[in-house]
């Protein structure tokens, strides 16, 4: 499964491609053009056809955008990609730290005399354009909608994806598609909305109990949907994707080119999520939008019993593949294998499971300085040999029919240094703190995530990514609206699955990340009469050992040591029976009490 999609610019191509784009600006009389990493569906993941940002600039991160002006071009990246962007973009582009520097502020500085900034209205969400318009008021800068200027200059642009969709079994989904539509339609009626416009691919997949393959590593099919208040659904998707699928009597299928007219023809108030509604559709619904959000988002995030059981089962099989890989890795002498060797071995063990449909994202296998690149993607050019004293960050996951996995382990190659071990132990302490946590009902990730950072903060250290993200049920490995980050205000509810992944990254030296997936549950009652709040807690889904060689035992409290030993006992009990004899023997040692 190891592969890459060559839609990125090599550094030497950057100047020519930017020059070609600027020629289009000159021809149309624009002063700039916005290039997001987005498609018309406004999800996080895009197909190769829509990788305009990477094709133009070379930057391959999962979030960011470029503002290309006649005299300057900024690539806006968040803290996860500060190191990566330096490696990937040519010097005709300037990395801009975002959101510390906002697009509006940067434009006002770069276009002090005003100007015209063009954008493709299908590739920018309504809220984004509304906020940018507000910031630019009085600046003399005008926003103008246009066709996509990058598409004009991109020779051999990949074709739109046309992979077939498949039915997702109801016993794994835990609810019929008709029941989901009826349940959500009742919410529309209560809110006074006649319909909801849905563009996010994973929402449509969840609503209709189907899966697709239009985006690498994500089981989604591109399309649009309108959910009506009577429970009927209009689906706008290419007929060749649907084949002979029976979507139920409540679903009517249409060609995608009829979607805009259907949206324009809706009556009454229409439920939308302005964070994922393209501005092109907001133009059609002006004055009729109810900003209630995507009606599928929270129901999809609150996994039902069948989905949780499926995810738990998938994690056991996935854990066995990870442990087989770790046992193999530990038997290889330092200097004898490369990052790609690890990727291929792990993906090979996963592929032995017949329920595996794909990996859930490009496997991150970064050793030494590469491990400090948070979303590092190994290539033949960057492939590095694992050396004595280095750390290996191995972040990977699988898309199984019954669940989606995401696990990170940091492994010592040979003998680790003291600095690395102390930083690893702090990361582990943060991960344990979250795992042990109980919290009052109604709290959000914003209120909890600092607990996982505290051990690092006390040492003057931190990391530039969220503590955790939501995860789908055989859907996107990054799923909203739940999350563990300072920006997320969505209350955590039973059934939500999230990652717990603190880290530490020293540029040019090493990286550390430890990640398990957890599911929110009602906390068990305490043996006390003083408790007066309903509480939530976590149940761990991920089972694989944490490298003892990187733990400084005297840094752990008794409670932390007990948690780690108990977790390793659970790992051995759940995973050992699924392993080869060699890996089971290795696991016994790896899970020995500290």
Domain boundaries in the chain?
11-153, 166-300, 302-583
The partner residues of 115 in beta bridges, in order of sequence, read 141
Q: How open is the CA angle 32-36-41, to the nearest 5 degrees? A: 130
492 φ, ψ (degrees, to nearest 5)? -80, 130
Helices within 67-125 (DSSP H only): 82-88, 103-110
Structure tokens at 198: 């849905």
Q: Which CATH superfamily is domain 11-153 in?
A: Creatinase/prolidase N-terminal domain (3.40.350.10)
For position 390, what pLDDT does the model report? 96
Kindly give, in sequence order, each residue whose CB lies less than 8 Å from that of residue 160, ignoring residues fewer than 6 positions away.
47, 49, 222
The β-bridge relationship of strands 516-522 and 497-500 is: antiparallel
Which of left, alpha, beta for 505 (phi over 0: left; psi -120 to 50: alpha)?
beta
Which pLDDT tens digits describe the chain residue by residue (594 residues)?
Answer: 434 445 777 777 888 999 999 999 999 999 999 999 999 999 889 999 999 999 999 888 878 999 999 999 999 988 887 888 888 887 888 989 998 999 999 999 999 899 999 999 999 999 999 999 999 999 999 999 999 999 999 999 999 999 999 999 999 999 999 999 999 999 999 999 999 999 999 999 999 999 999 998 999 999 999 999 999 999 999 999 999 899 999 999 999 999 999 999 999 999 999 999 999 999 999 999 999 999 999 999 999 999 999 999 999 999 999 999 999 999 999 999 999 999 999 999 999 999 999 999 999 999 999 999 988 989 999 999 999 999 999 999 999 999 999 999 999 999 999 999 999 999 999 999 999 999 999 999 999 999 999 999 999 999 999 999 999 999 999 999 999 999 999 999 999 999 999 999 999 999 999 999 999 999 998 876 677 889 999 999 999 999 999 999 999 999 999 999 999 999 999 999 999 999 999 999 999 999
Which of left, alpha, beta for 268 (phi over 0: left; psi -120 to 50: alpha)?
left
Contact between residue 449 and residue 467 where contact means Cβ atoms under 8 Å apart? yes
For position 88, what pLDDT does the model report? 83
For position 3, what pLDDT does the model report? 41
By three-state DSSP, how is residue 541 classified?
coil
Closest CA to 42 of 122, 104, 102: 122
Distances 115 to 112, 331, 344 between C-alpha atoms, Å: 8, 62, 50
Cα gap 255→222, rounded to integer Å: 12
To the nearest 10 degrees (0 to 180), the angle between helices 418-435 and 450-457 is 150
Closest CA to 302 of 130, 439, 456, 480: 480
Q: Which CATH entry fits the domain spanning 166-300: 3.40.350.10, 3.40.30.10, 3.40.50.1820, 3.40.50.300?
A: 3.40.350.10
Structure tokens at 377: 């993607």
Kindly give, in sequence order, each residue whose CB lies less than 8 Å from that of residue 534, ignoring residues fewer than 6 positions away.
440, 441, 522
The four Cα atoms 483, 489, 494, 498 give a dihedral, to 10 degrees, of 10
Distances 244 to 161, 207, 208, 232, 378 between C-alpha atoms, Å: 18, 18, 15, 20, 39
Closest CA to 65 of 14, 27, 114, 102: 102
Through-space distance between the first and last CA atoms of the chain, rounded to whole angstroms: 36
Which of left, alpha, beta for 123 (phi over 0: left; psi -120 to 50: alpha)?
alpha
411 φ, ψ (degrees, to nearest 5)? -120, 135
What pLDDT, in 10s, does the model give residues 303-333? Answer: 999 999 999 999 999 999 999 999 999 999 9
Contact between residue 33 and residue 23 where contact means Cβ atoms under 8 Å apart? no
For position 79, what pLDDT does the model report? 80
DSSP code at position 417: P
Q: Which CATH entry fits the domain spanning 302-583: 3.90.230.10, 1.10.10.10, 3.40.50.720, 1.10.730.10?
A: 3.90.230.10
**166-300 matches 11-153 in CATH topology:** yes
Residue with tokens 């987005």: 38
CB atoms within 10 A of CB 419: 11
CB atoms within 10 A of CB 162: 12
What pLDDT, in 10s, does the model give residues 487-518? Answer: 999 999 999 999 999 999 999 999 999 999 99
By three-state DSSP, how is residue 575 classified?
helix
Distances 463 to 78, 337, 454 between C-alpha atoms, Å: 12, 29, 11
């Amino acid at each position: 499964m190891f592969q890459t999609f060559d839609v990125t610019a090599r550094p030497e191509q950057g100047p020519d491609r930017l020059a070609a784009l600027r020629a289009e600006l000159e021809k149309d009389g624009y002063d700039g053009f916005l290039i997001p990493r987005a498609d018309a569906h406004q999800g996080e993941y895009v197909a190769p056809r829509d990788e305009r940002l990477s094709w133009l600039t070379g930057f391959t991160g999962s979030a960011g955008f470029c503002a290309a002006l006649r005299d300057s071009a900024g690539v806006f990246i968040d803290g996860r990609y500060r190191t990566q962007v330096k490696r990937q973009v040519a010097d005709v582009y300037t990395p801009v730290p975002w959101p510390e520097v906002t697009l509006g502020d940067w434009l006002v500085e770069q276009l002090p005399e005003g100007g015209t900034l063009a954008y493709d209205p299908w590739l920018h969400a309504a809220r984004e354009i509304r906020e940018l318009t507000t910031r630019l008021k009085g600046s003399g800068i005008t926003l103008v909608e246009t066709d996509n200027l990058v598409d004009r200059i991109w020779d051999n642009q990949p074709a739109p994806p046309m992979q077939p969709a498949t039915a997702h079994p109801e016993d794994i989904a835990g609810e019929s598609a008709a029941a989901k539509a009826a349940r959500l339609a009742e919410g529309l009626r209560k809110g006074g909305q006649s319909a909801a416009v849905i563009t996010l691919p994973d929402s449509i997949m969840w609503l209709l109990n189907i899966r697709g393959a239009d985006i690498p590593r994500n089981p989604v099919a591109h399309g649009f949907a309108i959910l009506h208040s009577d429970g009927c659904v209009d689906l706008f998707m290419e007929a060749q994707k649907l084949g002979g699928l029976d979507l139920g009597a409540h679903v009517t299928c249409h060609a995608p080119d009829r979607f805009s007219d259907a949206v324009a023809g809706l009556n009454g108030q229409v439920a939308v999520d302005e964070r994922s509604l393209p501005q092109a559709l907001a133009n059609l619904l002006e004055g009729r939008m109810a900003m209630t959000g995507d009606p599928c988002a929270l129901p999809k995030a609150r996994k039902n019993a069948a989905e949780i059981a499926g995810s738990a089962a998938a994690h056991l099989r996935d854990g066995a593949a990870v442990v087989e890989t770790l046992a193999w890795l530990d038997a290889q002498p330092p200097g004898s294998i490369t990052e790609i060797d690890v990727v291929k071995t792990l993906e090979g063990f996963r592929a032995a499971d017949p329920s595996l449909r794909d990996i859930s994202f490009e496997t991150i296998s970064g050793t030494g300085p590469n491990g400090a690149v948070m979303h590092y993607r190994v290539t033949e050019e960057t492939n590095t040999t694992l050396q004595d004293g280095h750390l290996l960050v191995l972040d990977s996951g699988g898309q199984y029919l019954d669940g989606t996995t995401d696990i990170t382990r940091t492994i010592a190659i040979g003998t680790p240094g003291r600095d690395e071990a102390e930083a690893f132990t702090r990361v582990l302490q943060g991960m344990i703190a979250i795992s042990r946590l109980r919290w009052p009902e109604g709290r959000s990730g914003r209120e909890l995530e600092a607990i996982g950072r505290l051990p690092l903060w006390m040492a003057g250290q931190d990391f530039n990514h969220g503590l955790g993200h939501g995860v789908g049920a055989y859907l996107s490995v990054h799923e909203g609206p739940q999350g563990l980050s300072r920006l997320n205000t969505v209350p955590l509810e039973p059934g939500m699955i999230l990652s717990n992944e603190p880290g530490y990254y020293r540029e040019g030296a090493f990286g550390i990340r430890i990640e398990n997936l957890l599911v929110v549950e009602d906390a068990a009652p305490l043996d006390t009469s003083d408790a007066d709040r309903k509480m939530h807690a976590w149940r761990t889904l991920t089972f694989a050992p944490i490298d003892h060689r990187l733990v400084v035992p005297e840094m752990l409290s008794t409670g932390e040591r007990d948690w780690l030993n108990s977790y390793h006992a659970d790992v051995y009990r759940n995973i050992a029976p699924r392993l080869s004899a060699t890996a089971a023997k290795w696991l016994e040692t790896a899970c020995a009490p500290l």
